[in-house]
Amino acid sequence: MLKSIMEFVDVLFPINLGPLTYKCPTHLTSRALPGMLVSAPLKTQITKGIILGKPSNPEAKGIKTISDIHGESPLLEPPLLKLLNWMADYYIIANKGLVLKNMLPQETFKKVKARSKGKTEEDKESNEIVEIDENILSKIKESLSKREYKTFLVHAPSPLYESAMITKILPQGKSAIILVPEIVHISHTLPFIKEIAGERLCVLHSGLSKGQRSEAMEKIISGQCNVVLGTRMAVFAPLKNVSLISVMHEHNSSYRTEEGLRFNARDIAVMRGYIEKSAVVLSSICPSIESVYNSKRNKYTLIRPDVYSQRPKIRILNMRNERQPAPNLSKTVINEALSSIRKNEKIMFVINRKGYSMLTCKECGSTETCGKCSIPLMFYKGDKSLRCHYCGAIAGSPEKCRRCGSFSLEPTGSGIERMEENIKKVFDIEPLRIDSNMLKRKRIPEDLSDITEGKSIILGTKLLTKRLHSSEKLGMAAVLNADSYLNQPDFRSAERTFHEMYGITDKIKPGGSLFIQTRMPQNYTFRHLKNHDYASFCDEELEKRKEMLYPPFSKLALITFNGRDCDAVRTEKAIREILSGNKALEVLGPSVTPTKKGEKEYSLLFKAASKKNLHFSVKRFLELLGSYKCLNVKVAIDP
């Protein structure tokens, strides 16, 4: 019976292509199970893929034959195959081959020999002791013992609490996946997990060499390691019978992919948990608004440990009233910084802007902009260049205004280079500067703890706050241009501002201070930040989103496509057709923006109350556009 069923098989390759039908040789039919790794001819070469299943209507003529089947058990077990099919449907234009390519690293299909041990994750001992009430975690442990799906949302008092909590709930001997948003978080979490999992643990992320990833995948597939710690790619680790999936810092935007297949690893983790009947634990000091909303609707079980933690004082400074002895440096911040320096305390300044400044004409008031993007250019004083932070264009610094010809160009605003210059003048101290431009010139480790040793002033962009360990314990910190976080064209800008600012407080010692410089001190985000009241912020943010019908009260899909042959008339006709009789759908756009390559990109935002309506409408729209070429069509579904 099995022989006849698997006479023909659909094989899926990790490329942007759907499944292809192949004939299975008689001597291999007994092993031709869904999820098995196979070799099969593709064009002019033998390529590895997986068996997806039995084809519905195989054509007997012209069908090629698979060459071999590898291994004794499926590479992708039924739950992962089900997850693959769900993703291909949910993300609309993603064919199954593209999903497979994102699920498994290329080293799974083409093994690479690991070289002699290079740089690996540092196995530092954790000397931090975090008290955790076992009763708080009883519901999670009960779910693990029953082997039932349930998602828990832990509003943790600190990142260290998140790491320590995993050691209390990690099931002995059973499979588990622990996700962190960025590679730097692995070194922070590894000591906690290693202490419990020992040799059962392996690390998986994009920063490993090909050989290291190949070795890690072999250990996972063979069952030698059944606890995986890693970034978003680890959510697809081909473990069997996963009992626990933990997503630490679950609010972090790094769980979202921005290129290729766009997905959120947090949402994939929840779906995999549902399919595998696993316990899913989402944790954060500032859970995402969507997760908070799901806990209010009882889709997630909220756990909020009642742990007293002395937090730094947050002071909101109104820059309309503050004296500024130097640009973007208030008198209050300078005085407090000097006081901390006298106490031999380390301090941090954050300014989320690279370069020196913009250039503005005193005569006509125009700012030098990019010829491709029309975005203000940043002046770099070191090489006297103007750079576009969007498309990467570089030009020499002009001597006169390109608009009126005046020679009265002056720096306006402050980037990190200008702040470095100002800090040297004010404090007579050379600050340690950390930004992406510095990373390109110097080999700086993911964890900045070592290079900050002995430095009294650290200056950096948002990159600094991501990489600085929470054990740093600064005397004070100041965010110098907080409004740049809020003034983003994104309905999540307030939420992300809160996350960024509050994340800094964990790096400041108890009794220290965080100063936030703003021209919008009355904004509700700063009001709740000042009071360390995230719950009230969430309530107000949810009310605002409900009023504007933004997620979680609606579903969004952003469709972008570019190309000279995109017909605007036909696009508008397609929009009118899908809106006809569909009052529950809203379409914003099309808007046209320049891409980084200097082409035009068209964007449409679909907004619907239900996921079903959104998916149907997007699919129908894409069908209507199918009669002409649209290059690089992308669909980003917002959960």
Q: What's the CATH number where 14 sits?
A: 3.40.1440.60
Q: Cα–Cα distance between 269 and 266 in angstroms, integer?
A: 5
Percent of the residues in the chain that have a pLDDT greater than 70, as a whole number: 90
Percent of the residues in the chain that have a pLDDT greater than 90, as a whole number: 48
Q: Are 223 and 330 in the same domain? A: no
Per-residue HEC secondary structure of 475-496 comes to EEEEECCCHHHHCCCCCCHHHH
Q: Cα–Cα distance between 494 and 500 in angstroms, integer?
A: 10
Q: What is the pLDDT of residues 158-169, one digit of tens each?
A: 888 999 999 999
- 372-375, Cβ contacts within 8 angstroms, sequence gap of 24 or more: 372/594, 372/598, 373/594, 374/594
Q: What is the pLDDT of residues 239-265, one digit of tens each?
A: 999 999 999 999 999 999 887 788 999
- Residue 473 inside a domain? The answer is yes
Tell me what pLDDT residue 74 has.
93
When divided into structural domains, the chain yields a total of: 4
Angle between helices 138-146 and 159-169 (to 10 degrees): 40
Q: Are 317 and 450 in the same domain? A: yes
List, in sequence order, the alpha helices (H) in 277-374: 289-296, 331-342
Tell me what pLDDT residue 4 has.
44
Unique residue bearing structure tokens 């009883």:
138
Q: 631 in helix, strand or coil? A: strand
The residue that leads in pLDDT, 552 or 405, is: 552
- Confidence check: pLDDT of 155 > 90: yes
Average pLDDT over residues 17-45: 90
Element (H, E) at 557: strand 555-562
Q: Are 350 and 494 in the same domain? A: yes
- Confidence check: pLDDT of 8 > 60: yes
| Closest among 256, 325, 310 to 532, alpha carbons compared | 310
Q: Are 329 and 470 in the same domain? A: yes
Query: Which is it for strands 201-204 and 358-361: parallel, antiparallel or unpaired?
Result: unpaired
Q: Are 453 and 323 in the same domain? A: yes
Q: What is the pLDDT of residues 409-460, one digit of tens each?
A: 877 778 888 889 899 999 999 888 887 776 665 665 555 555 566 678 989 8
Helix/strand/coil percent split, the chain, to 5:
35, 25, 40
Tokens standing for residue 75: 């590479």
Q: Can you give the CATH number for the domain in which 620 is found?
A: 3.30.70.600
Mean pLDDT of the chain: 86
Q: Are 498 and 534 in contact (CB under 8 A)?
A: yes
| Closest among 289, 277, 281 to 251, alpha carbons compared | 289
Q: What is the pLDDT of residues 181-236, one digit of tens each?
A: 999 889 889 988 998 888 999 999 988 899 999 999 999 999 999 999 999 999 99
- Confidence check: pLDDT of 121 > 80: no
Q: Are 444 and 464 in the same domain? A: yes
- Residue 66 inside a domain? The answer is yes
Q: Are 194 and 99 in the same domain? A: no
- Confidence check: pLDDT of 546 > 80: yes
Average pLDDT over residues 135-160: 92
Element (H, E) at 143: helix 138-146
Q: Are 325 and 292 in the same domain? A: no
Q: Are 347 and 284 in the same domain? A: no
Q: Which band of pLDDT confidence, cut at 50, 70 and 90, is reported for residue 127? A: low
CA dihedral 77→80→86→89, nearest 10 degrees, is -90
Q: Show the domain range for 628.
A: 555-638
- Residue 387 inside a domain? The answer is no
Average pLDDT over residues 17-42: 91
Q: 292 in helix, strand or coil? A: helix
Q: 453 in helix, strand or coil? A: coil
Q: Are 229 and 193 in contact (CB under 8 A)?
A: yes
Residue 89: partners with Cβ closer than 8 Å, 6 or more residues away: none
Q: Are 333 and 289 in the same domain? A: no
Residue 69: partners with Cβ closer than 8 Å, 6 or more residues away: 28, 31, 32, 36, 37, 38, 51
Question: Would you call 568 exposed, middle or buried from its count of C-beta atoms within 10 A (0-12, 13-18, 19+)?
Answer: exposed
Query: Which is it for strands 279-284 and 394-396: parallel, antiparallel or unpaired?
Result: unpaired
Query: Which is it for strands 242-247 and 175-179: parallel, antiparallel or unpaired?
Result: parallel
Q: Can you give the CATH number for the domain in which 521 is found?
A: 3.40.50.300
Q: 569 in helix, strand or coil? A: helix
Q: Are 578 and 535 in the same domain? A: no
Tell me what pLDDT residue 363 has.
77
